[in-house]
Chains A and B, each alone.
Chain A
Amino acid sequence: MRKILLLGLTLFLLNAMAFAQGRVVTGTVTSLEDGMGVPGATVLVKGTTIGTATDIDGKYSINIPAGSNVLVFTFVGLTSQEVNIGNRSTINVALESDVTALSEVIVTGYGTQPKREVTGAVSSVKGDAIQNLPLQSFDRALQGRASGVQVRSSNGLPGGAVNIRIRGVGSVNAGNEPLFIVDGVQLNNQSNASFTQSNPLAFLNPNDIESMEILKDAASAAIYGSQAANGVVIITTKKGKQGKAKFEFNAFSGETQPMKFLDVLGGSEWYGMRRNAFINSGVPNPEANALSNMGRLPATWQTLTRPALDAIGLALPTYDWQREVMGAGRLQNYEMSVSGGDEKTTFFLSGSYNYQEASFKPVDFKRGTVRLALTHQATKRLSIETNINLSTFQQNVPFAVEGSFLGSPAFSSSAVLPHNAIYNEDGTYNTAIAGVLGQNVVLVNAYNSGLQRTNTVVGNLISNYKIAKNLTFRSLFGLDYRLLQGDNYRDPRTPDGAGVIGRSSVQSDWRTRFITTQTLNWNKTFNGIHNMSAIAGVEYLSETREGISGAGIGFPTFQFRTIQSAATPESVSGFWTGYRRASAFSSVNYDFKKKYLVTLTARYDGSSRFGTENQYGLFPSVRVGWSLVEEEFLKNSSTVSEMKFRASYGLTGNDQIGNFDARGLYGGGGNYSGSAGIVPSSLANLGLSWETNNTLNLGLDFGFFENRITGSVDAFDRRTKDLLLSQPILWTNGFSGISNNVGELQNRGLEFELSTVNIDKGGFRWNTSFNITKIDNQILSLYSGLQFLPANPGIAVGQPVGRSGEGAVFSQEYVGVNPATGRPMWLDIKGNITYLPLAADRKYQGSSLGTVFGGLNNNFSYKGFELTTFFTYEYGGIGGDGQYSFLRENGTRLTLNALREVNDRSWKTPGQITDIPRNVTTNGGNELRSVGRNSGTASLLKYDFIRLSQLTLAYSFKPSLVSRIGLSRARIYMQGVNLWTYTDYPGYDPEFTGAGTGQVPLTKSYTLGVQIGF
């Protein structure tokens, strides 16, 4: 778009060009980055007004008047170059990218703005930065790229959910996910699917992204009103550029690897541990009991001596169940794009195929996408545009997304007793599995099957009509349509399928979102110093979701795996839900000589989700800026190249609640004795309304030494008022809670972003970008003077609410074991040691929300070689990990395997100072008159980590070299993702959300790739 505008501008200049005698110089202007011709670049004879523009191949021809000997080549986004002509008649120049990005343009709400004029807190991530990362959805790629944006993968399911928090957590019971907009279409963001997670953002090939802008402060986001409380992420996809067709082929392939295997005990070790536990508990025949637990007690045991039994236990073998079900996975990506166009029409067409396996087979992700972006200048005034994304992806589903399911390899493989053989000697599955798990997960995994498919169309139709010179009307119609289908089969040969003789479950879920936006854009400059622009528009959005699901049981044989073969329908269900929103909005920008900048916005939203008394809301904002570099005292500074103070204040809303939460309803449910029931499902709240975010933002953008050092600092105070809280209702009144607007929450933070060009000499270049964010999150007030929520004391005044609004960790402090006896000890509320902590002894310990996070990117390039290292980090979150907690029990409560490091630390001799109690077998593995060994903070973990998220080594062949074989560009690279993590986390991985039990962990990956342009 920029290039087209510039082309127009230069054509205009061309008209003004004076005619002169002289020689003719011809040549081509190319971009150093990709070696492609640059259309529309300006070629100017220095010291004159004589100039021309390059054609669509980047070629030019210019008359040089006598006496002139220097040509100046300029293009937006590229560094200008001056070239001495000498006596040459052909001059080819390759322009470098202008990394200092003085003239960068930022996409903001319903428009664009030069970065210099942005007065809100907006972070921008270019598509290049996340290119070719083996990630299925772009949200995952945002991690560490922008300050204030906290990203955590929910698990390692390819295409699984990602948890994004922009500037903390603003809500307890309403959603905390930002609004995602792709090409003007506001996306639905539900990642729920019946049999796995289906990330709604995985429909888009991340390599089709041109840029992502994150509107962080309320004032920038306020134009999106009631959707914007959690920030807005605007994705702009790649568009065609004028010029001859450019083909780009891009492929990478590689392997995923588990980041970690848990170091669990072997067969004889587990026996020894269990035997000692029986001895500690004073149980007679400890050897026999331990062998009995392991299903290895000989029938004749009473005739054997204790040493003989012990010998049996100590000779038990070890089988590595984790390595049987976890391992390397394949990873592939192929894509092809072609773009180009002429003066009237530009296009971008791409197709891609992506495949990735998780560390736990057969969990995988397979996607195909087709994308088309087309613009056409129909008349001088009218241009039309369309962007269409078609996508289908298919996932082999895990046994369960999370949970302590015996059949789930992610849960059972580390927990099954290790002396159990996986296969019998004849190669068949061993089905006699001793211990609580009692089933062969390798068999279960091999026999069950399931698929989840997500088909998506996200597209728009846009027309722009230039009503007058400075007045444009824009009309957008967008669609986000998804069809999720899945089936899942519990094989009758597996324990979960045996009881019902096989179960097939199926699901279909349609999600349709329609949006239309009509806007008028106006701008004018008065007297050359007062610049004004304005946008006014209306918008309408309607979403419906509809689904059916069913399950059938009783299959003739395991070969019959689809629901029509079921003997008995087990369940049939369905749902329908929907909501609508209508809005009007306006924004006005004014600046005085680009020095003093003001933006006012307002949006008026009406939503069907809220109570009839409160369906409409107004969301205003104001932003001001003072660009110091435009002042006389800095204008000619050689040190300071950019300096701008920003301040903003705005109101945004959060409407992420159930579609009918304001209604008092009776729903279907409570069938009895074969006939249907109805049940009161919710209480009416006619006054239910938005939760509002008021954010005050103060910021400073700076640049030094011709912007070799640039960065920004932001401080914010984000307050959520009228929290959409599920206000507890006494159960004696028949309901659990009601959605109500009560309470106030605060997120305060500091953000810092810095980009530097450390070295740029002799072709060697070293860039660094770094960002860090510090967040403080706390509840300021609840209702009726309550200090904590009766139903969840973790929601308390002065305490953080955690990543998902689950509340602060509220538990008794664990202080290790009594060195004399090996009994676990906690502190009571007075700070005294107790063996039996009570509810009253709980204290606030922090929350799952990391308080400090960010990223560090280093990029080194030299003569076509390029090395990128990218680290992300997070600090300050605490919480549990269900998988670790099970293993931390050290086999005492249930016959599960144990972690070696935990068992090594368990108390064995008086005087030993440790945190793991003595092993016992009675009382569910706990001392008599004690509580569970994982109680209180005993099993609490720190989620801190520093991770080498990306390491890339690339080589770009010289354009002059590859052009001989008809290529314009060739690049090869090796890439590693998540290669190294610094953490003392004892579980699989500190990065997850949820309980952590039986979740598929993230993987690392290695890829080799090639990019070819022709």
Chain B
Amino acid sequence: MKLINKALLSLALTGSLLVSSCDSLLQVDPRQSIDADGALTTPDAMNAALNSVYSKLRSARLYGRDLFAVGDALADVGVTTSNSGRLIGENNNQPGAHFGTWQTAYFAINEANLILDGISKVEGASAAQIARWEGEAKFLRGLYYFDLVKVYSYIPTAIYEQGVIGQGGIPVVTEGVISSGVALSRQTPRSTINEVYAQIYKDLEDAKKLLGTGRGVQYGSSPAASALLSRVALYRGDWAKVVAESTTALASSVGTVLSGSAYVNGWRAPVNPESMFEVRFALAEESIGVNESLQSTYTALLNLTNKNSQGGWGDFIPNATVRALFGLTALQIGTPASDNNNWDVTRNADVRAQLFTTGNTVRGAGRQIENTKFLSKSGFAYADNVPVIRKSEMHLNRAEANYQLKNETDALTELNAFKSLRGLPAVTLAGNALLEEILLERLKEFIGEGHRFFDLKRYGRGIVKTTPAVNLTFDDFKILPPIPQREVDGNPNIKQNKGY
């Protein structure tokens, strides 16, 4: 009978336990996450949240690869090797083979917005901290919006509207989303291009005021904001602003304009001294890896010490135009010919030619002339800090702006000064020829850095290349990528770019 009692008792106990304390029985809290409500109320949390906004720049869809490599592949400076089959569609300018920055950039923008929304709720923050959070978040938001609008919309200096209605800029959101209600209902339309640029100006001007010289070139700073503003103004055709911001940036202590062999060595250093803002790859696990890193994209070499070591794919290499600009031809420097270390290239006087050499034969396309700006300089395989803005760009921006402001003398002087930094003789040019020379100098300076496509786009120029045979006129819809179809399907207020 005792057993009966025990049995009944245990059933009753279990039952009452279940009934009386169901709520606590079902309470399980995550241990590797915290509730979003109130997550950003401490200074440490703000710093951590800001880190995540920076870290998204590392994505292969952004500075990890695409903003550099796809920019060049779409343009007229290189060819693909088919070694891994990557970038072929982009290089052929096929429909849909284009940038895809939308998702990562908007996620980062939302995080920046949440930080900006949350600053006022942080307990125990100093004024300096508050200024830094706001400044860096706005610097980043400005950068993300700029990288979105330059890709998905026409550029203000060359807005194509002949016979078609331009679809405008991109959606601008400045309030963070953390609740499902807003997430499911907010359907932001595309702002006008001008509105987007105005927002970018606003963010970067604020950043400029709020930030000092910064805490390292991997973080936003006032000079970096000026430098970025110089580029944004260049795209906007706001030439006087370009001159002003370039001058401010050049005068700052952030970054160094290098010349001669120092310039080449700058590319061999973990942190390029030219950087005014760079994306940092600090840990081995952050490496983009053998398939999509910039190093792997541009060269099959693992390092320069032993060219026989199997490295990346070397998918995208300079074309004949670029090889001619730097006088590059393959050159056997020893025997046997089968040893990749016995090969190099001929070069002209341009110091930038030093950044090219022959690769190796381990991939299908064999030994090619490759760009070696990215060579695992972070200290582990397939990771390089990516210079988003180098100080040299300021000279080229200012020269171009001065040309557009009809200050051709200033423009020519600055161009020749720059050429001499690169080991090139001065030129005497005027009018359109001067502009062309400035643009050519940009092409040479930024091989592998993704500027060329946007420089063509800024001037409303088509893309013409012989290998592969492409003649993409500026009125072709493939100048713009499609907005991700899910965003169009799910948002009746968004108009897809024409042609898609």
Q: Write the residues of chain A forming the contact surface with B, with a CB cutoff of 8 angstroms.
A: 292-293, 295, 299, 379, 381-382, 434-436, 438-439, 463, 465, 467, 473, 475, 495-496, 498-500, 516, 518, 520, 538, 540, 551, 553, 568, 570-571, 574-582, 584, 606-608, 615-616, 659-660, 663-685, 727-736, 738, 740, 788, 790-791, 793, 836, 838-839, 893-895, 922-924, 928, 931
Contact = CB atoms under 8 A, between A and B. Distances in A.
Contact of B28 (A381, A496, A551, A659): A659
Contacts of A672: 51-52, 54-55, 58, 218, 280, 282
B26 A606 contact: yes
B111 A680 contact: yes
B7 A475 contact: yes
A114 B500 CA distance: 63
A869 B306 CA distance: 61
A790 B106 contact: no
A467 B55 contact: no
Nearest to A297: B366
Contact of A923 (B10, B14, B110, B468): B468
A473 B490 contact: no
A263 B94 CA distance: 33
Contacts of B182: 733
A680 B109 CA distance: 12
Interface in B43-89: 45, 47-56, 58, 80, 82-85, 88-89
Contacts of A439: 310
B180 A685 contact: yes
Contact of A299 (B4, B18, B218, B337): B337
Given A495-B310, A580-B28, A293 B11 contact: no
Given A473-B7, A894-B85, A923-B88, A734 B26 contact: no
Interface string B178-198: 111011101110000000000
B305 interface: no
Contact of B486 (A436, A679, A790, A895): A790
Contact of B32 (A538, A667, A682): A667
Nearest to A472: B7
A518 B10 contact: yes
Given A435-B364, A790-B489, A571 B285 contact: yes
B450 interface: no
Given A439-B310, A465-B3, A672-B54, 10 more contacts: A467-B4, A475-B11, A520-B11, A553-B380, A570-B380, A574-B32, A576-B31, A580-B28, A659-B30, A738-B183
A301 B26 CA distance: 76
Interface stretch (B34-42, B126-134, B257-265, B423-431): B34-42
Interface residues of B, number: 102
13 contacts: A295-B361, A382-B3, A435-B364, A463-B7, A499-B302, A499-B311, A571-B284, A659-B30, A664-B180, A666-B34, A678-B49, A735-B107, A735-B183
Contacts of B237: none
A465 B4 contact: yes
Contacts of B40: 666
A604 to B, nearest CB: 10
Interface in B8-28: 8, 10-11, 14-15, 18, 22, 25-28
Interface of B: 3-4, 7-8, 10-11, 14-15, 18, 22, 25-28, 30-37, 39-40, 45, 47-56, 58, 80, 82-85, 88-89, 92, 94-95, 102-103, 106-107, 109-111, 113-114, 171, 173, 176-180, 182-184, 186-188, 216, 218-219, 280, 282-286, 290, 302, 309-311, 337, 361-364, 366, 376, 380-382, 468-469, 484-487, 489-491, 500
Nearest to A501: B381
Nearest to B25: A582
A381 B311 CA distance: 74
A678 B53 CA distance: 9
Given A465-B4, A568-B284, A668-B32, A538 B186 contact: no
Contacts of A540: 14, 18, 25
Given A663-B35, A730-B491, A895-B364, A673 B180 contact: no
Nearest to B58: A672
A727 B109 contact: no
B26 A580 contact: yes
B85 A666 contact: no
Contacts of A616: 22
A473 B182 CA distance: 52
B188 A738 contact: no
Contacts of B3: 379, 381-382, 465
Contacts of A793: 489
B284 A678 contact: no
Nearest to B363: A438
Most B CB contacts (10 A, CB to CB) among A379, A579, A668 go to A668
Contact of B84 (A463, A538, A894): A894
Given A499-B290, A671-B51, A894-B82, A615 B26 contact: yes
Nearest to B385: A673
Contacts of A922: 468
Contact of B184 (A516, A578, A579, A738): A738
Nearest to B490: A790
B180 A684 contact: yes
A438 B436 CA distance: 42
A928 B226 CA distance: 44
Contacts of A571: 283-285
Contacts of B47: 675
B52 A670 contact: yes
B254 to A, nearest CB: 16
Contacts of A382: 3
Nearest to B309: A498
Nearest to A894: B85
Contacts of A664: 35-37, 178-180
Given A553-B284, A731-B107, A734-B106, A678 B48 contact: yes
- Nearest 3 CB-CB pairings of A with B: A734-B110, A670-B52, A677-B51
Given A540-B25, A734-B111, A675 B486 contact: no
Most A CB contacts (10 A, CB to CB) among B31, B109, B173, B290 go to B31
Contacts of A683: 36, 177-180, 183
Contacts of A674: 282-283
Nearest to A665: B33
B302 A734 contact: no
B364 A436 contact: yes
B186 A473 contact: no
Contact of B485 (A467, A736, A839, A895): A839
A555 to B, nearest CB: 14
A732 B7 contact: no
B302 A660 contact: no
Contacts of B32: 574-577, 667-668
A924 B11 contact: no
A5 B133 CA distance: 76
Nearest to A688: B180
Most A CB contacts (10 A, CB to CB) among B95, B188, B486, B489 go to B486
A332 B362 CA distance: 42
B180 A438 contact: no
Contacts of B362: 438
Nearest to A735: B183
Contacts of B106: 731-734
B221 to A, nearest CB: 14
Given A382-B3, A730-B490, A738-B180, A670 B56 contact: yes
A665 B34 CA distance: 5
Contacts of A839: 485, 500
A731 B103 contact: yes
B11 A473 contact: yes
Given A438-B362, A538-B15, A671-B55, A730 B110 contact: no
B28 A579 contact: yes
A893 B85 contact: yes
Contacts of A678: 34, 39, 45, 48-49, 51-52
A545 to B, nearest CB: 11
